[in-house]
Structure 1
Amino acid sequence: MKVKDLTILIGIIGIVLMMVIPIPTELMDVLLIVNISAALMILLISMNTSDALQFSIFPSLLLITTLFRLALNVSTTRNILSHGEAGKVVETFGNWVAGGQIAIGFVVFLILVVVQFIVITKGSERVAEVAARFTLDAMPGKQMSIDADLNAGLINETQARERRQKIEREADFYGSMDGASKFVKGDAIASIIILIINLLGGFVIGMSVHGMSFQESLSTFSVLTIGDGLVSQIPALLISTATGLIVTRAASDGNLAHDITNQLFRYPKLLYIVAGTIGLLGIATPIGPIATIPFAVVLIVAGIRMQKTLNKQQIEEEMLVEEQQIEEVRSPESVISLLQVDPIEFEFGYGLIPLADTQQGGDLLDRIIMIRRQCALELGLVVPVIRIRDNIQLKPNEYVIKIKGNIVARGELLLNHYLAMSPGFDDESIVGIETIEPAFGLPAIWIDEATKERAELMGYTVVDPPSVVATHLTEIIKRHAHELIGRQEAKALVDNVRESHPALVDDLIPSILTVGDVQKVLAKLLREKISIRDMVTIFETLADHGGYTKDTDILNEYVRQALSRQITQQFSQNGDTLRVITVGPSLEKKIAESVQSSDQGSYLALDPIATQTIYQKLNEQVKKQIQSGNQPIVLASPTIRMYLRQLVERTMQDIPVLSYSELEPSVEVQSIGVVNL
């Protein structure tokens, strides 16, 4: 056994022996000084800990100090009753605090007991009880949080083990503090009982055993009793205060002094208000300015110095941040940050800054929030954050839209004008700047405020510049939605479905398909502007057919057939009529014969002449439908749909290609054109 371990054991045994073995008064004085020093040391340690677990021995130490204090009480009581003396320390405390007035000493002692028992001990006991209860209740949630961080790879196994041990130690500590706080409460009660015994017993023994007179016995034992009570209650009060500090410490980065100076004196301007109130109190009341004005001046001076210190700290922090930024730029690792590519970017010239500046009435940010909500509802896609920035390299009124760093669209706006689109006939009285509507490529004109009302009366569609941008951005997102969904985004959608349908997701991934396979199917649907919001139906279909084929093109066709009701409602008029351009028998036969198979899947292999003929015939029918005001939709058999789509999307990406199996039986299909070779 080590020397320090043996010393602690001997000390605890000695505390117990003090209760039954008489202690000389000289040694008693030393032990009383040790008691006061230990209590003061415990208080200072509790003030300088930033975490309660840094002083985790406190509950056991509280028991030891309480036992030591009671042993000293017993020993001093024995000396007082046996010899009528208890050493210099007890006598000094009795005479010095009482000041020759016994009643004053009793009052001071009772006040200390009341403060310790009712105020500090009672509050510390309640705080420890609540902290223990809340710590135990929060343990399951903290354990789940650690497991989630470990599964996500945010922490390793060692860090997880350390965090679990800390949670267990916190629960043990506050549970121990809940019981240990009762020691201080019992110590206060014992002090009152010992005080009464010393006073009454000493008074009787002084007259009957020591032969003292009534007045001499009362004076002697009253002073010794008060001194004994005070010399034990002052250390008890210090340790009670330490108990309260330990159990009431909240989340902090420093010790008590650091927190007080940083938090209590963080607002120097409030000292001016306090100084003004104190000064006014001295002037307007009988207190007088002599007692209040100096203190108010001290507060003002302190506020000024604190304000200068805060300003200096703020300047130093700003300089430190600038230095760190410079160092980051100079460091070789800073180049890595330049490799980050934003999924969607919206850049504009300096003339369009009012669109995004809320102080100038710009509502572009609010519109982008609505765009993301609209895409989530219509496409089932969570659109990533859109980066908005100005670009001095652009024309003042120009803007560009980028997808993964590449420009996919651009346009120009006139902020003080409105974009008017013709209803099909032009009115010569509507004069403006000719332009092209950026979202759909329709001819339009920019008109001023004075012409707006007349244009609306003539049937023109009139929109403001923010609406033009919002519409253009929405269409670009829909057109390139398939580029915005990668494996990470697909994983997020899978996790969202897992919350409500865990059995479905566990059956599909990864036993049947991988997240990459699911991502490819979702991207193919979005490429043809088919909403993936009904993820349950999509996953059910993939789970049913994924065991037979891993070809994502074929799986996409199965999913489209499962979404027949959704597709029918999306493209039909009022859900009951669908006008289409049908594929003739000769074209279907030509496409079917040109399908080739390989290890990577099937593909369409047409000769250039046949391909050009198909484009020409299909383009003629599409133009007829557009001139008639109908949306061109191509309808083919299920066996060739995906190959015809691959052919059409090269030149006519926005033309939907459907198959008969993707339509509901209740819809009426009207053929308004046929494409044949």
Structure 2
Amino acid sequence: MKISLKKTDLFVGIYLLSAVMFFIISIPSWLLDFLLAFNLSVALIVLFNALFAKEVLDMASYPTILLFTTIFRIGLNVSSTKLILRDGDAGKVVLTFGQFVGGGNLVIGIIIFIIIIIIQFIVINKGSERVAEVTARFTLDAMAGKQMAIDSDLNTGAITDKEAAEKRKKLQQENAFFGSMDGATKYVKGDATAGLIITGINLVGGIVMGMLYSGLTVNEALNKYTILTIGDGLSSQIPSLLISLATGILVTKASSDGELGDEIVGQLFSIDKVLMMVGAALVVMGLFTPLPNYIYIPLGIALIVVGRRLKKRTGVEAIEEEVEESEAEAQEIRKPENVVNLLNVDPIELEFGYGIIPLADVNQGGDLLDRVVMIRRQVALELGAVVPIIRLRDNIQLNPNQYIIKIKGIQVSDGEILFDHYMAMNPGYVEEEITGIPTFEPSFHLPAIWITESQRERAESLGYTVVDPPSIIATHLTEIIRQHISELLTRQDVSNLINNIKDNNQALIDELVPKLLGIGEIQKVLQNLLSEGISIRDLVTIFETLADHASVTRDTDILTEYVRQSLKRAISGKYFPSNETTSVVTLDPNIEQEIMSSVKNTEQGSYLSLDPERTKKIMASTGSELKKLEDMGKNPIVITSPIVRLYFKKLAVDYYKDIIVISYNEVESNVELQSVGMVTA
């Protein structure tokens, strides 16, 4: 196997390997000079990258960079320590730092070195560590809220699916980055501590080595090795200070589209009144205090002049911006309309009047957007189908409290609510009634009343079912989606469902698609199931059943019946409670025979050709039997033989929308049924 090594990988590998080698081998002083200069260059590069990065993720690898530079710098410390103790000479860079920074004075050099250590260890490192810790915690705590905000923007159409995926990825990267930075700042703190300890070791060890092995006096050893120790400490601590400063800049940086320099200057010197007030204060201090007036008065006058120019420029910019906006609006009016965008139709839309806007506005405490997200999750769990993005829009043409629900651009239902009111419904056993505004619950058209907040507690104590406006809209929207979910299932959705189970069921998918059935035919079967409220979550069972029978028939209606029989456990669980006898209506065998005799088979499929008069009589009998179930408070369930179920359902659904038709083969053997009537004609 051939392994290709990129130049960047080679550089990183050599960088880390050399840092490890510094602990083992001794390097000459001239090489140490070069490496110290290189280390300072890397520190400056890191600092300015952190300074000019527009957002923290521009340096997402910073925690790793921090670890690499720390180990490299400590390796150089070890190498310089060897040279100082062994030869009393650590190269020109170390000597120059020791002599030049201290100005030839040991006391000054020591003080400067201690000051740098204090600044780095107590000020920058301590602050960076605390900021990184707090930022990591708050970033993690805010992640759930940011995820919901992305889902809300996606539901309202403010962003596309691709943009939502990018935002989620960026959110995860930010969370991982600040979590890593929380730990990475410990490297900086440890580096400063190690530098301080190494410096002490160099000083004591150098004096001992100078006196014992070089024959130096105490003063000579102290003078020589103190300069070298300070130079060594400064040559390593100054790059370390730059890295610490870069860490502080990065963890305190707020995400912005501009560079940090522009942000700082723009925010400090953007208000003309502030500059003129500060300038006036400096002039007063220069005139009426012992402070040097030759500094304060010119500086104050300069700030006043800058403030006046800024005020004038701000006014000109405001006029120019207003003109540009007017020109842009005019240009927009003159621009030819892009009619292609008008051709797009949203699968599901919820439009509402301006009175309902507070329910959808997060800033006003509205949670309607969150409820819409929950609807999609609920339907996915209940029916196994992915609900398309639900678009929420305000419509000034509607009444203030009105909302409408559209499926593929066509209105299918509407409702009206009273803001700051609650809907109270009598479940049937409430003895004492309360006063309110009569209305109808929009989902199931049940009688209800609007009550105020002050009546809510009493209504609940009396047994009323009380719901708030967002719950009313969410329930209504959920029911509409359930009714139309079959037509919302597209071929692309089916393809996605197939891909979701393909990894673990490769043989099944290869056998079924496209050898036996196409995606369109599978779509029809799934739509048939969804149209009768049957969940399609168990796709493996559905596809295996299709694979078993598709070689015999490709009639999607017949295939649907086979699938339903395979899903009889789910169907029985949905309609027949365990340990309970379920009341149903049966179909006269003569009626079943008559229906089957009227079935006509064609190349396009089979259909029922029954005399209209006979149809009316059968449906009349069906209605009277279903009335018995309705009076008992039971579901309108009709049990038929397997071969008849499909055709009787198609016949009856036009007359009774909520009718449930189940065949004997779709009922588990442990289910107890009780017939309360038989459809005859």
TM-score bracket for the superposition, by shorter chain length? 0.5 to 0.7
Q: Establish whether residue 478 from structure 1 lines up as the match of residue 482 from structure 2.
A: yes
- How far did residue 241 of structure 1 move? 3.6
1:342-381 aligned at under 5 Å gives the runs 342-353=346-357, 356=360, 364=368, 368=372, 371-372=375-376, 375-376=379-380, 378-381=382-385
Task: Please give the secondary structure, in 1, of the residue aligned with 2:481.
Answer: helix
In structure 1, the residue matched to 2:606 is: 603
CA deviations 1:641-663 (Å, max 9, x no partner) are 32333344455443222222122
Q: What residue in structure 1 maps to residue 49 of structure 2?
A: 49
- CA 61–544 in structure 1, closer or farther in 2 if over 3 Å, else same: same
Indicate which of 552, 559, 562 corresponds to 1:558. 562
Show the counterpart of 1:667.
Answer: 672
Q: Distance in 2 between matches of 1:237 and 1:448?
A: 72
Distance 1:201 1:456 in 2: 94
Aligned residue for 1:595, secondary structure, equals: strand
Q: After superposition, where does 1:95-134 map in structure 2 within 5 Å?
A: 96-98=103-105, 104=107, 107-108=110-111, 111=114
1:277-296 to 2 correspondences below 5 Å: none
CA contact (8 A) 2:438 2:450 kept: no
SS of residue matched to 2:587? strand
Distance in 1 between the 2:266 and 2:84 partners? 42
Residue number in structure 2 paired with 1:657: 661
The answer to whether the 8 A contact 1:577-1:669 is kept is yes
Query: Secondary structure of 1:639's match?
Result: helix
Pair 1:244–1:343, CA change in 2 (3 A): same
Cα deviation per residue 1:315-360 (whole Å; 9 max; x = unaligned)? 99x9999999999999889766555543322222334456556788
Say if 1:564 and 1:663, in contact at 8 Å, map to a contact too: yes
- Aligned equivalents of 1:447 and 1:233: distance in 2? 78
Matches of 1:116 and 1:433, distance apart in 2:
71
Measure the CA separation in 1 of the matches of 2:661 and 2:448: 33
Q: CA deviation at 1:578?
A: 3.6
Is the contact between residue 93 and residue 227 of structure 1 (CA under 8 Å) also seen in structure 2? no
Cα shift at 1:200 = 3.3
Contact residue 102 and residue 109 of structure 2 kept, 8 A: no
For structure 1, the residue ranges without an aligned partner over 5 or more in a row are 1-14, 21-30, 81-85, 127-151, 156-162, 164-169, 207-216, 269-289
Checking the alignment, whether the CA contact within 8 Å between 1:541 and 1:559 is kept in structure 2 is yes
- Percent of aligned pairs with the same amino acid: 33
> Is this contact kept in 1: 2:418–2:469, CA < 8 A?
yes
Correspondence 1:235 to 2:240: no
* Residues 228, 379 of structure 1: alpha-carbon distance in 2 compared, 3 angstrom cutoff: closer
SS in structure 2 opposite 1:392? Answer: coil
Name the TM-score, length of structure 2 as normaliser. 0.57
Q: Give the paired residue count.
A: 538
2:533 counterpart letter in structure 1: K
**1:511 counterpart SS class:** helix
Is the 2:347–2:407 Cα contact (8 Å) retained in structure 1?
Answer: yes
1:383-402 to 2 correspondence within 5 Å?
A: 383-402=387-406
> Residue type of the partner of 1:96?
G
Change (3 A) 1:525 1:611: farther
- Hey, what does 1:525 align to over in structure 2? 529
Q: C-alpha offsets along residues 545-577 of structure 1, whole Å, 9 cap, x if unaligned?
A: 456555433332122112223333544587423
For 1:567, the equivalent position in structure 2 comes to 571
Q: Any idea what SS the aligned residue of 1:532 has?
A: coil
Paired residue secondary structure (1:407): strand
CA distance in 2, matches of 1:570, 1:593: 31
Using the TM superposition, give the Cα deviation of residue 620 of structure 1 relative to its aligned residue in structure 2, in angstroms: 0.8
Find the residue that maps to 1:509 and give its secondary structure. Answer: helix
1:407 correspondence with 2:411: yes
Q: For residue 160 of structure 1, what is the aligned residue in structure 2?
A: none
Q: One-letter code of the match for 2:677?
A: I
CA RMSD for the aligned pairs? 6.7
SS of equivalent residue, structure 1 residue 235 = helix
Distance of aligned partners of 1:614 and 1:377 in 2 relative to their CA distance in 1, 3 Å threshold: farther
| Whole-Å separation in 1 of the counterparts to 2:221 and 2:199 | 21
Deviates further, 524-533 or 565-574: 565-574
Q: 1:627, CA displacement in angstroms?
A: 4.0
1:200 paired with 2:211, answer yes
Q: 1:466/1:624 Cα in 2 relative to 1: closer, same or farther (>3 Å)?
A: farther
Instruction: Provide the secondary structure at the position in 1 that maps to 2:512.
Output: coil
Give the distance between the partners of 2:250 and 2:466, measured in 1 at CA.
Answer: 59
Question: Which amino acid is the alignment partner of residue 612 of structure 1?
Answer: P
Counterparts in 2 of 1:535 and 1:61: CA distance versus 1, 3 Å: closer
Question: Residue 585 of structure 2 contacts residue 625 of structure 2 at CA under 8 Å; is this kept in 1?
Answer: no
- Give distance in 1, aligned partners of 2:652 and 2:99: 105
**What's 1:582 paired with?**
587
Cα gap change, 1:110 to 1:198, in 2 (>3 Å): farther
Alpha-carbon distance, 1:480 to partner: 0.9
The correspondence of residues 91-490 of structure 1 with structure 2, limited to 5 A, is: 93=100, 96-98=103-105, 104=107, 107-108=110-111, 111=114, 191-192=202-203, 195-196=206-207, 200=211, 204=215, 218=219, 223=223, 226-242=226-242, 338-353=342-357, 356=360, 364=368, 368=372, 371-372=375-376, 375-376=379-380, 378-413=382-417, 438-440=442-444, 444=447, 469-490=473-494
CA contact (8 A) 1:94 1:226 kept: no
Q: Which residue of 1 aligns with 2:286?
A: none
Structure 1 residue 108: deviation in Å?
4.6
1:622 match:
622
Q: Distance in 2 between matches of 1:18 and 1:367?
A: 69
- Go from structure 1 to structure 2 and tell me whether the alpha carbon gap of 1:408 and 1:195 turns closer, same or farther (over 3 Å shift): same
Contact map agreement 2:437 2:449 (CA 8 A) in 1:
yes
Separation of aligned partners in 1, 2:27 and 2:337: 65
Q: 1:60 to 1:439 in 2, by over 3 A?
A: closer
Maintained 8 Å contact 1:512/1:547: no
Partner of 1:507: 507
Aligned to 2:612: 612
Alignment check: 8 A CA contact 2:549 2:559 kept: yes
Q: 1:46 to 1:522 in 2, by over 3 A?
A: same
Judged with a 3 Å threshold, the aligned counterparts in structure 2 of structure 1 residues 225 and 468 are, in CA distance, closer, same or farther, namely closer
- The verdict on how the C-alpha distance between 1:597 and 1:118 changes in structure 2, with shifts beyond 3 A counting, is same
**In structure 2, how many angstroms separate the alpha carbons of the residues matched to 1:639 and 1:42?**
80
Aligned-pair CA distance for 1:582: 1.0
Q: 1:603 to 1:533 in 2, by over 3 A?
A: same
Which residue identity is paired with 2:558? I
> In the alignment, is the contact (CA less than 8 A) between 1:109 and 1:229 conserved in 2?
no
Quote the residue 1:594 is aligned against.
Answer: 599
* Corresponding residue SS for 1:347: strand
Larger radius of gyration: 1
Identify the residue that residue 9 of structure 1 maps to in structure 2.
none
Partner of 1:644: 648
Tell me if structure 2 keeps the 8 A contact 1:490–1:519: yes
TM-superposed deviation, 1:386 = 3.4
Change (3 A) 1:422 1:261: closer
